[in-house]
């Protein structure tokens, strides 16, 4: 059923080099072999995207929304075939991947609704005033598509942040054609999803250049894509080294372009004293559950817990150690990730002041074994390496002398995707002093929950100050993600006949700002 071919603007191609997807658990090559995309494929895909952009960027919003919904239906229809292939390639369990397919098609449908809502266009009209000195012109603004977007599939969400994931969905919603650099860890999953998108493009009578999938194992492939002059923006989720390389490449282009890279985060969680005292054991259970979920391979994994020394913390640590001992070793996404995890955990354990609190069950070479360390607040602040992400089920509990030290540890952290407070009412006063610090450090502040789990809604921010992301002004999850791929254009004294319908006086657009006043319709 799988062909291993490259998808360039509706055309399935072969090449003279191949690679294989590997079974995550066994490390064995899966069938079929996949063709490596070349620089020539990049150029063809980008040329087709630039040409298709003229049609897709100006498509009526209802048609754009219908295309997104059809894409969702096509992916849903892949059903178990998709789940089984993704399980083999990623080692993730069936229920998780079925859930992830639901999230993937759910976000495509959410963006379809968002396209139709249309408020993201930031429509504004300032009527003329010929009597003013100088005469005031008629000005009308909207946001339009930025242009073709390069999306890098992420290994840890083979569906929801890969070929048809959040970056692709939001870029298509913005009217941007997409060229995906497929992640080599799940080429079969990628081909299945790309086939679904290509079918939706064809059945919608849209230009095939709207979507291409280029898979391969060489860094040069991604570099060629980001360097192509027709690419207008980049979406990436992955390692800090990978994100930084793309940022540098994009900044060095003749025409620099924005890179939206989601890179690394250790997601601090503060256990406020009154809350901790109330129930250290239930916090420990939930903590271990969150940190080991999906073998810890989430960008929002709770990598650092901040707590104040004392009896309640001692209870929490004992309960954490006990819970940890029952955590089974889980297959990690790739051999490279499990190797990096093992060396990262060893490095963390070797830092001055780090003490191993406990470990989970051991497993095979492709598995990740859960690890929790402790360290004092002072030792943590002495060494920046404690603040570096170890991708996998590893975490560190920072035992602080008091809440003032908790605040200092937080102030010393780099930018984060999330920051969490566990608290009850007796903690609110102290918490209110920490929140302004957390607002400066993170894109999402969570109360009394664990950071894993990212809801795809309107008010979600999955972003945060550098180096959590390359651009803290944006989110990669939720409807605001569309704004990354837009730019404003203003029309001055333009005859109505030449204006887009949304900018005409009698438009039925949902939300517009007219002469400074917000006007809502329907």
Q: Residue 26 or residue 248: which is nearer to a second copy going by CB?
A: 248
Tokens coding 341? 């995890």
Interface with a second copy, residue 131, by CB under 8 A: no
Binds a second copy (CB under 8 A): choice among 442, 468, 482, 509: 442
Binds a second copy (CB under 8 A): choice among 202, 325, 453, 504: 453
Give the integer Cα–Cα distance in Å for 246 and 269.
30
Chain Cα centroid distance, residue 314 = 36
Q: Which of residues 371-430 bind a second copy (CB under 8 A)?
A: 415, 423, 425, 428
Interface with a second copy, residue 349, by CB under 8 A: no
The count of chain residues that interact with a second copy, using the rule CB under 8 A, is 80
Q: Contact, 215 vs 34, CB < 8 A?
A: yes
Q: Residue 169 or residue 372: which is nearer to a second copy going by CB?
A: 169
Minimum distance of a second copy from residue 76's CB (angstroms): 18
Minimum distance of a second copy from residue 355's CB (angstroms): 30
Residue by residue, DSSP assigns 76-130 as: HHHHHHHHHHHHHHH---HHHHHHHHHHHHHHHHHHHHHHHH-GGG--EEE--BT
Minimum distance of a second copy from residue 299's CB (angstroms): 15
Binds a second copy (CB under 8 A): choice among 490, 501, 504, 508: 490
Q: Residue 43 or residue 494: which is nearer to a second copy going by CB?
A: 494
Q: Residue 226 or residue 431: which is nearer to a second copy going by CB?
A: 431
Report the alpha-carbon angle 53-59-64, nearest 5: 100
Active site residues: 262, 299
Binds a second copy (CB under 8 A): choice among 324, 461, 468, 482: 461
Q: Contact, 312 vs 273, CB < 8 A?
A: yes
Q: Contact, 54 vs 18, CB < 8 A?
A: no
Binds a second copy (CB under 8 A): choice among 256, 289, 328, 336: 256
Interface with a second copy, residue 126, by CB under 8 A: yes
E strand map for 309-439: 330-331, 355-359, 367-368, 371-376, 394-400, 416-422
| Segments in 119-239 forming alpha helices (H) | 166-173, 187-203, 219-227
Binds a second copy (CB under 8 A): choice among 321, 472, 502, 507: 472
Minimum distance of a second copy from residue 224's CB (angstroms): 20
Interface with a second copy, residue 32, by CB under 8 A: no
Residue by residue, DSSP assigns 242-290 as: HHHHHHHHHHTSSS---EEEE-----EEEE-HHHHHH-HHHHHHHHHHH
Binds a second copy (CB under 8 A): choice among 28, 80, 81, 136: 136
Q: Which of residues 58-97 bind a second copy (CB under 8 A)?
A: 58
Q: Which of residues 140-159 bind a second copy (CB under 8 A)?
A: 140-141, 144, 146-147
Beta partners for 212? Answer: 179
Chain Cα centroid distance, residue 305 = 23
């Amino acid at each position: 059923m799988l062909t291993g071919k490259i998808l360039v603007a509706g055309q399935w191609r072969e090449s003279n080099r191949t690679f294989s997807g590997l079974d995550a658990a066994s490390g064995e090559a899966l069938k079929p072999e996949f063709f490596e995309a070349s620089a020539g494929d990049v150029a063809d895909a980008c040329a087709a995207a630039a040409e298709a952009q003229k049609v897709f960027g100006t498509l009526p919003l209802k048609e754009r929304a219908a295309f997104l919904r059809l894409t969702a239906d096509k992916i849903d229809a892949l059903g178990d075939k998709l789940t089984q292939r993704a399980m083999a390639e990623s080692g993730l369990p069936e229920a998780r991947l079925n859930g992830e397919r639901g999230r993937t098609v759910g976000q495509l449908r959410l963006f379809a609704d968002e396209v139709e809502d249309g408020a993201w266009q930031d429509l504004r009209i300032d009527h003329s005033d010929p009597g003013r000195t100088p005469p005031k012109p008629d000005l009308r603004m909207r946001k339009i598509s930025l242009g073709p977007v390069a999306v890098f599939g992420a290994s840890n969400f083979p569906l929801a942040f890969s070929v048809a994931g959040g970056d692709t969905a939001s870029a298509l919603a913005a009217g941007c054609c997409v060229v995906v650099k497929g992640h080599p860890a799940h080429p079969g999953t990628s081909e299945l999803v790309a086939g679904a998108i290509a079918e939706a493009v064809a059945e919608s009578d849209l230009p095939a250049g709207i979507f291409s999938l280029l898979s391969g194992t060489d860094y040069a492939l991604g570099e060629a894509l980001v360097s192509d002059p027709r690419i207008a923006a980049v979406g990436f989720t992955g390692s800090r080294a990978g994100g930084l390389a793309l940022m540098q490449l994009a900044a060095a282009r003749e025409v620099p372009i924005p890179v939206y890279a989601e890179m690394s985060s250790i997601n601090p969680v503060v256990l406020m004293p009154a809350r901790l005292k109330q129930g250290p054991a239930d916090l420990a259970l939930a903590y271990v559950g969150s940190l080991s979920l999906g073998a810890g391979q989430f960008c929002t994994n709770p990598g650092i817990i901040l707590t104040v020394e004392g009896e309640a913390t001692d209870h929490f640590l004992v309960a954490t150690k006990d819970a940890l001992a029952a955590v089974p070793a889980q297959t990690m996404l790739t051999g490279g990730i499990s190797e990096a995890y093992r060396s990262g955990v060893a490095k963390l354990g070797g830092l001055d002041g780090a003490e191993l609190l406990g470990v989970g069950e051991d497993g095979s070479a492709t598995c990740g074994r859960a690890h929790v360390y402790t360290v004092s607040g002072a030792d943590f602040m002495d060494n920046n390496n404690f603040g570096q992400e170890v991708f996998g089920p590893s975490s560190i509990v920072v035992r602080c002398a008091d809440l003032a030290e908790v605040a200092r540890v937080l102030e010393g952290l780099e930018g984060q995707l999330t920051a969490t407070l566990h608290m009850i009412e007796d903690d609110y006063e102290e918490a209110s002093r920490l929140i302004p610090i957390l607002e400066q450090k993170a894109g999402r502040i969570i109360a009394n929950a664990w950071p894993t789990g990212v809801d795809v809604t309107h008010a979600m921010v999955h972003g945060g100050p550098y180096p959590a992301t390359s651009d803290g002004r944006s989110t990669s999850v939720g409807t605001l993600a569309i704004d990354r791929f837009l730019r404003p254009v203003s029309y001055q004294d333009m005859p109505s006949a030449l204006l887009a319908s949304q900018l005409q006086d009698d438009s039925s657009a949902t939300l517009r700002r007219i002469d400074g006043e917000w006007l809502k319709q329907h």
